Structure 1
Amino acid sequence: MKRLKNVCLLISLLLCLSTTIKADTIHVYLPISGPQNYCQSAGFDTFIIHKHPAYGATLWNINGIPSGSGDSLIYIPTSAGSFSIIATWAGNSFGVQLNLFLVPPPHSTFQINNGSGHLNLTNDTLWLCDPTVSISAQGLVSTDVTTFGWYASGSLITSNSLLPITTSGVYYFQADNSCATTRDTIVAVRLPVTLPVFNDTSFCNTSLSLVLDPGPGWNYAWTPGGATTQTLLVTTPGTYSVNVSNLCTVGGTASLVVDHQSYPVPDLLYLQGNAMCADSVVVLDPSPGYTYSSYMWSGGATTNSITISGLTGGGGLYNVTVSQGTCTETASVFLTYLPLPSKPALCVATVDAATGNNKLTWEVSETGIASYNIYQLTSGYTLIGNVPNVAGATTLSFYDLVTNPMASAARYKIAAVDNTCGLESDQSFYHGTIKINSNPGTGGVLDLTVTDQYVDESGTYVPTKYYILIDSLNNGNLTMKDSMNAVFNSYTVTNPVQGATYVISVQLPWACGAKTNFGQMSFSNKSMVYMSVDELQNNISIKIYPNPSKGIFNIEAKNIIRIEVLDNLGRRVLTTNNPTIDMSKQSSGIYNARVYTKAGVGNCKLVVE
């Protein structure tokens, strides 16, 4: 009966076991390394622990409690936890740890351990005030997890529960067991501790639209309007401010002025074009009819416009900066002026031996010249003539038909006139002609005196030597006779030629086109026509004095019947039988006198100064 009872108990035990062991049966074979983790959330599994075949007779214990012997151990847990199952044989032992879990790890809470910072009420945001703030995960039980650690962007940062945070970002604490993984996320935001700064802003000729943003991490109170948002859209000018504060600082106020200006864009390019004549006057105004708040021209002027003349300011780049409120704009223009003709230079001022008139000669050294104006010194320099330019000419000349070289020396200047704008150059340096006086001396000589020497205003030339020339036939053909040092101003012609005239000249130290037979020379006026005191004409002895004269001549001859005076064109200007002739009303020059006597007709020359 006892044996039958034991069989019944065994059968009852097996029946009991058959109702407890789940379909999930887990076989664990020794030896095995490391703990074995299993989730039992769906019910407890049946674990069969197998010894190694090399082990001898084996005894088993669970958490230090003997639990049978044999080649294997059947273990059906009834609670979660850690279970140490050890097999011993022949003084040896080997075990395995079963970690059984019913639920995933619990969620953690966070707390600040080091540094200044603040956690929000929902424990999912950390406000960073100090450079480093350390937080830790709380509520972690070692038996609830197998592994844990802090992560960011999917990468493990540390396997500790304590995390030092230095930068803003998203961090999460992850705890694992065989049932599941639990993650708790926290967003770290570094709060600003320096007040924001706004700069005054201007909108110049554009629509006003400005978003003011002092940055995240503040509490906001905007003025005007009272908005509490982080940003404020501004569409009208004015003064705006925001009061900010946060958990890290008491905060303060940032403000700015928003300015909006509309005005015509300054422009000077409408004045830019082709080169202008040098006397052209241009008024530079960046916006005619409109006045800006201020002006600053490149030359320093602050007026709303400036006047430019090619004769004063000249061409070049001009710019102006205008302001309207806090807005500034710049406009520029490059003005080009045609230059004035270059200052010409006289080659020579002389008395023309052929005509007896003053003559000016100069070189044509510049293109684009239409003509040359001639000026003579009177009370000032007076325009007395104009000489058109001649294509291909290298020199030009002007004859002064008004001035009497016998009466006085003359000073002349010339100026070039361009053919585009009709503008005149600066006047040349003046040149002055030579003036001499002549008087018959005792002993049949003729005295020549230089009363006005040749003058070159530039100072390039000062006479050092005079040349004495003779016009034997008084027809303009000169022959060199003598020379003298210019320190002397008088020369005596001994044995003068009857009916001849004399001139004094200087040789200038520069060339001017083709040279004359005497180089570049300036000649004085002619001397008186030399007549001896007792001239024999057709066997008639005639005496004339003074000659030259200002107009009164005395003629002595025997038995004068009448006297006729003819000008150089053969026209009779006077007939008289009075031996004293009055020519004071006649022009200066040389006249022919015919003296009729009972013995015949004699001819002589009269020189009226």
Structure 2
Amino acid sequence: MDKLLRCFLIFLVSGQFLSAQADYISWEFRGGNLLNNPDGTSTGPGPEPAGLDVADIPSTPITFGRLQSAVLGDLDGDDDLDFISGSQGGTVHYYENDGTPTAPNWVAASIPTLDTLWIDRDNPFRNQNRPQLVDIDNDDDLDLFIGTDYDYEGDRNNDILFYRNVGTPETPVFEYVPNGIPGLNDIEVAEFPGLGFVDLDNDTDLDLVALGSDKLTYFLNTGDPENPVFERQSEADSPWSDEDAYTNMDVPVPVFEDFDKDGDFDMFFMIDTGFVRWIENIGTVTEPQFDDPQLLFNGELTRGEIGSFATIDFGDVNGDGLKDAILGSFNVARFAWFRQVPVCVAPSTPVVTATPVTCEGETSTITISGDLNIASTWSIYTDSCGGTLLGTTTTNTSTFEVTPTAPGTTYYIRGEDGDLACIDESTAICVEITIPVNAIDDPTFGYPDTNYCSNDSNPSPAITGTTGGTFSSTSGLSIDPDTGVIDIANSTPNTYTVTYTTNGTCPDSSDQEITIIQQDDATFNYTDSSYCSNDSNPTPTITGTTGGTFSSTSGLSIDPDTGVIDLANSTPNVYTVTYTTSGTCPNSSDQEITIIQQDDATFSYTDSSYCSDDSNPAPTITGSTGGTFNSTSGLSIDPDTGIIDLATSTPATYTVIYTTNGTCTNSSDQEITIIQQDNATFNYTSNSYCSNDANPTPTITGTSGGTFSTPMGLSIDPDTGVIDITNSTPDTYTVTYTTSGICPNSSNQEITILQQEDATFSYTANSYCSNESNPVPAITGTTGGTFSADSGLSIDLNTGVIDLADSTPDTYTITYTTAGLCPNSSSVEITIHPLPNVAIENDSSTISVNSLEGATYQWINCDTDSPVASETNASFTISENGSYAVDITINGCTNRSECVTINIANSLSDFKLYPNPSEGMIHVTLPSVIDIAIYNNHGRKVFETTNTSIDISTLKSGVYFMKIETSEGTTIRKLVRN
């Protein structure tokens, strides 16, 4: 019920019927305004207006004066009920109760995070919202839900918005949660749904019922009270037999109360015409079932009409312990409240039963069945009716658990109405029920002591309670189950719980703790039975009972508390050491200890350092002989004689240890250093160098700081070994490197100095025409090398012969590189001149060629193969028919065109070429065409045909020349490809 009392619901119902009420409840209009009140004296403001008749109802363009709901809740923590309301414009408004818990007075007030709410500001005319207050996360403050057709971002895809209260019960702060509550976010429920939260399946969390658009939708909470998760239920799984049976309401808000006191929640709402209706839950506490009809209320709420699209909520606003009703209307905006008026219908005589119990301490369930009517509780007493109150129940049929005492307890049950004063409790019917019960056995027993040594006599318990029971204990204790006698010798020393259990009708048991103490364990030991006089002082290990004392025969110096033997101050001899415990059961044990004098391990070598090629040194032993030698790793030493094998030892510093082999061995050491003969390793990067190479520097991988030497002819730096190649005579030399350490050493490397090869070569000329004979180079230096040149020059890499015809005219650098041990290279520059491009164009009497800068021209009579006198221009006017060509010379390179036959008096004058320029088809108009050839700007034929319609789309853009041969002669025309 506490959960439900925290669920304060909005009620905006349209077109539904509210359920009928019990005959002990009536309702009376108290304050606010009604549209019609045929059962009362007025429609407002009423005898207790409570501020509702003068409440500041906004009539701004935001709300349009329409506040369509009233939702009760204590929003300022002052123990009276405030309320909030939605509006047509998408806003939420707060009305604070500044009266008292018994005399409400509501005034418009401010909660900042409510004042700023405005759902879908762009659509104010149909933007009703249905706010609802409920503690959905069980944190003792009220959260806010809003049923709307618009989400917070203004989209029509989210009917339920959630605002978590991140403030306190006294100062709420409502924070929008974009993801909402699991199962309720981004869902379509109804247009402006009203929301009712209630625990319909009695699982301690709140389920949800949504009403709107003439339809009911049920959401089951499958989470927990702190973390709700809602699952939309199908109509088949819904407690409502017909979820579409709400056509008399458009935008209602469902409310759930148990006014009929049958232990389950019924549903209350308002229909579109402004009247209250309810539907009875005919199911159970865990399996609700709601069926028609929609029932009427009692009293003035039966026909009290507040206006269209109204809502209702319930709460005790006048402090009389009964829930009152507050109504809100959509159009026009008005509020009203009704007091619940008790009707004094006495409770019926209840039928009381109880489950039987056998022994004291068992629980019996009392079941009370009857009609409470005006009574608010069934009260359960002991001693007398009205004596000691054990508790109450609040539903007609209810249960109550009791624990009777022997030989039995009588319980008294009657209906009570609290402060309503309808029931005279002094004369009210009180039903008695007596529950008999047996007393529990007395299991009292005891042993004489709680602690026993393992060698004590076996103890027996004294039973002062109910005899004839049995004894038991935790594992390890040997005990007689009938007598309780403990067999100490066969019990493991430990602490045990001994339990005595009676065997009567109502058995009981009691415990006593018993400790079996083991006789002290005096076990101890030293790590050895004998010690040398120079050993570390030995400490005994006590594996038994600690805290005892040590003693020994005379001559041994021993600590009586720790047992540590002072070897240096003890006389070498044989002793008996005794350890005696000091516990409850003391014990002692002995160990024999012998003290032995230590050996003398003195020895020495003649020197402390040796070269690796010295004679092997032997030590002199001046102490106890017969011991063994060893050293740190790397020294080759004879373990019996101590002779060091220098040749097989790794040069380093070692510690040689001589250890005697007596009973009390001793050892001494001497540091010996083995010095390695110097490492004269060195090398040059190569065994031979050319006379033009960089001066080589040797790498000394052995001992540095030595000197270099060589025979005459090689110039070498004696300190660094750098060879001055330029000043050295080409020859083969032996270079020697000699170290300068304690044990010097030397090594050699053979070095050869080679003379660099001669790469001289030349061509007969520096430039050539592309139609000349291929030039061959003359190599005057070292032969057998290879040639290379810039890209575009066709050259034989082995001979250097240039293929002028296959080379692109240009200037090139040709390099010749020898192939010997000391290669060399040289280069010459060669220019290849192109032949001038020749293409003749004729217009019957005059022929011409392309004009080239720096060119000279000479026209040729092809019939006589001789120059035409004085014709040295780019054009030539023909005086007689014949065959003609032209020689063009540039840079000393001459090129001749093809011969063109000229017949002035023939049909060539009718020649037509169109379109020109063109990028596709061209057409030639000329009779008796034998052949058509097209040449590029370099005089190379790129196309040939006998057709007079030609597709030139495959040619690249540029200038071309067309040669047309007919039966009457040949003509040439310029052609442009776009």
Alignment TM-score, normalising by the size of structure 2: 0.21
Write 1 or 2 for the structure with the bigger share of strand.
1
- The structure number with the bigger radius of gyration is 1
